[in-house]
Structure 1
Amino acid sequence: MFSPKTTLLGLKADHFRHPLDLEATQAIKQLPGIDLMVRNLLGPVAEQFFYLENIAASVLVGEKQLPEFHKMLLEACEVLDMEAPQLYVRQHPIPNAYTFAMRGKQPFIVVHTSLLELLSPPEIQAVIAHELGHLKCDHGVFLTIANIIVLAASQLPSWGAVLAQGLQQQMLQWLRCAEFTCDRAALLATQDPRVVSSLLMKLAGGSPTLASQLNLDAFLAQARAYDDISNNELGQMLKEAQTMNLTHPVPVLRAREIDRWASSKEYQGLLKGETMRYSNKADSKGGWRNW
């Protein structure tokens, strides 16, 4: 379907995890009892509820149902060295995709029809691979926590909302950091940074009628201009205020991050297998890693 890609045998989440994701995940894990509560109490109910809801109201992709998307999924899973989850297509006017996985029993990905209509086939595969990144990194538990806390903050009385606000900000920070990691998974699966950046450009300002007129190089220049705003204290403060309540980093920032990582020795080493060979050898000798 696409040009041949390097299969990343032995790929582990920490081989490509963004440093900000690692830092934010460690902070979340220090919150007492939350992981246990979601896995053992909320997890079984949520898992069953969302599985039934999706299988009832979406189309399950397979060899005989939307087979082109099924092939994209299998190829991305092969490259990322992971088992394939279920993939659903859901009728929805808002371009979006999301992942659900609580205890590893029935992970699945959902992609909205409006997003499929906006993107080219390689960009669709990048979306699928981004969602696979959540599964590869075991983000499912914390994604559920974040959704619950964000919902609770809007429903609780004022005193409860104040208590939840701190947790909400911490979870939103983690969500934004996790997205950087999953963009890296999209790059590893497509092995073309322009595909991932083009996807982000269309999420920022695309539509089926405008897609062919968009200029990726101009968008990347726009991303660099966004960077320049941070050169002074006021610009940095405005950026932080703009993003603190968002679940995703702004698209230009994500494009800049993926453009930088595509040029890094870390990324090139993964494609050559050097990083994985080194870290696996190190693990067998004492568990340390250096990359």
Structure 2
Amino acid sequence: MKLEGAPVKQKQLVGLRSTEYEHPFDRNALEALRGTPGLETIVKKFNHYGIEKLLKIRYTGSNIKVDDRNYPELYDTLRQVCAIIDLPEIPDLYIQWGYEINAFTAGVEKPIIVLNSSCIDFLSKEELMFIIGHEAGHIKSQHVLYHQIAEVLPIMGDIIGNATLGIGSLISTGAEIALLNWQRMSEFTADRAGLLACQDANIATKAMVKLAGVPQKYFNSINVEEFIAQAKEFEGYDYDTLDKIVKLMSTMWMSHPWTVMRGAEFFKWIDTGEYDRLLSANRLENLIGNSNASGTGKMACPNCGATLKGVEKFCPYCGNKI
């Protein structure tokens, strides 16, 4: 696989649905997660104790907010990404100090994206579009609630355990494993959203190489082909059962899969032609067709009124069954 060419002018993907680029590992892990006993209880406790509000206060209380008056160039990049992947509501954007190239998303009803300052220092605008697109992809796919729960589940396990004479802690153990497994798989979907945002596989790959930890002094000599070769080699290990077990055990308690593993899945998607198909599709026709398709239209939760995809078994906002 050889990636060539200068960055292209991004195409606005009108009517893009997250299900169009959803990674099957994400989909399958989410189905397994939703079938985990006790998850509904955990969701309700998360909302009952106002943990999301506490998280948002923590993230917004000391970090710099970006808008069209404060760092307008960064805000314009965010706005551009949201328009490209058709995310209707632009999330708030904050910057926090951090030497590591990293970003995350928080908040369900009103999501926010937080970038480490290193993202601005070390990434080009196009690479930043990949990172912001990755986070916006989490929002578009409604990943945020479960991501937040996974972050605080050990604390919630104590809360639920104390409230249920220890039974809740047993529930949270199984749910924690299922949540972390799904959280890792959801990163594959978000990487696809990042590529759709920047629309340049070469740029996205360079961003991944930087995420993987290449020293800053070598940023100008990043060898994309070598990273691709390493990712392809890693992909080959999946055919050996022992290697599968090693990778599973090594990532069991991690929120993100290894960057090279992400690269392997990323390039596999490009090789299938699905990425090019999404870019070349007539988005207006798709939008009209999707609105008429049975079983795929949006619906509202009968309890809280939140907008849903139409495939949920229970509302990710209030935890009630649909």
- Relative to the length of structure 2, the TM-score reads 0.78
Match of 2:10 among 5, 10, 20: 5
Asked whether the 8 Å contact 1:7–1:80 carries over to 2, the reply is yes
Residue 37 of structure 1 corresponds to which residue in structure 2?
44
Asked whether the 8 Å contact 2:14–2:283 carries over to 1, the reply is no
Deviates most, 139-148 or 68-77: 139-148
Residue 219 (1) aligns with residue 264 (2): no
Aligned CA RMSD, in angstroms, stands at 2.8
- Relative to the length of structure 1, the TM-score reads 0.86
Following superposition of structure 1 onto structure 2, how do residues 187-202 of structure 1 map, counting pairs within 5 Å? 187-202=195-210
Deviation, 1:245, is: 1.9
The 1:166/1:57 distance shift into structure 2, 3 A limit, reads same
Q: For each residue in 1:71-97, what CA deviation from the matched residue of structure 2 results, as whole angstroms up to 9, or x when unmatched?
A: 110110010111211101111233321
Following superposition of structure 1 onto structure 2, how do residues 182-261 of structure 1 map, counting pairs within 5 Å? 182-261=190-269
Residue 176 (1) aligns with residue 184 (2): yes
Deviates most, 264-273 or 181-190: 264-273
Between the aligned partners of 2:129 and 2:214, the Cα distance in structure 1 is 17
Residue segments in structure 2 that go unaligned for 5+ positions in a row: 1-6, 298-322
Deviation, 1:196, is: 1.7
Match of 2:75 among 70, 81, 96: 70
Residue 51 (1) aligns with residue 48 (2): no
Residue 135 (1) aligns with residue 143 (2): no
Between the aligned partners of 2:178 and 2:280, the Cα distance in structure 1 is 36
Asked whether the 8 Å contact 1:134–1:140 carries over to 2, the reply is yes
Between the aligned partners of 2:107 and 2:93, the Cα distance in structure 1 is 12
Paired residue type of 2:246: L
Asked whether the 8 Å contact 1:223–1:256 carries over to 2, the reply is yes
Q: Tell me, what secondary structure is at the counterpart of 1:252?
A: helix
Between the aligned partners of 2:71 and 2:55, the Cα distance in structure 1 is 22
Match of 1:119 among 83, 104, 123: 123
Deviates most, 246-255 or 114-123: 114-123
Q: Tell me, what secondary structure is at the counterpart of 1:81?
A: coil
Match of 1:145 among 149, 152, 160: 149
Higher helix share: 1
Q: Tell me, what secondary structure is at the counterpart of 1:263?
A: helix
Q: Tell me, what secondary structure is at the counterpart of 1:176?
A: helix
Between the aligned partners of 2:175 and 2:285, the Cα distance in structure 1 is 38
User: What percentage of aligned pairs have identical amino acids?
Assistant: 28
Between the aligned partners of 1:3 and 1:275, the Cα distance in structure 2 is 18
Paired residue type of 2:84: V
Q: Tell me, what secondary structure is at the counterpart of 2:217?
A: coil
Number of residue pairs the alignment of both structures matches? 284
Between the aligned partners of 2:274 and 2:238, the Cα distance in structure 1 is 25
Deviation, 1:288, is: 6.5
Asked whether the 8 Å contact 1:35–1:142 carries over to 2, the reply is no
Deviation, 1:7, is: 0.6
The 1:245/1:55 distance shift into structure 2, 3 A limit, reads closer
Between the aligned partners of 2:293 and 2:195, the Cα distance in structure 1 is 30
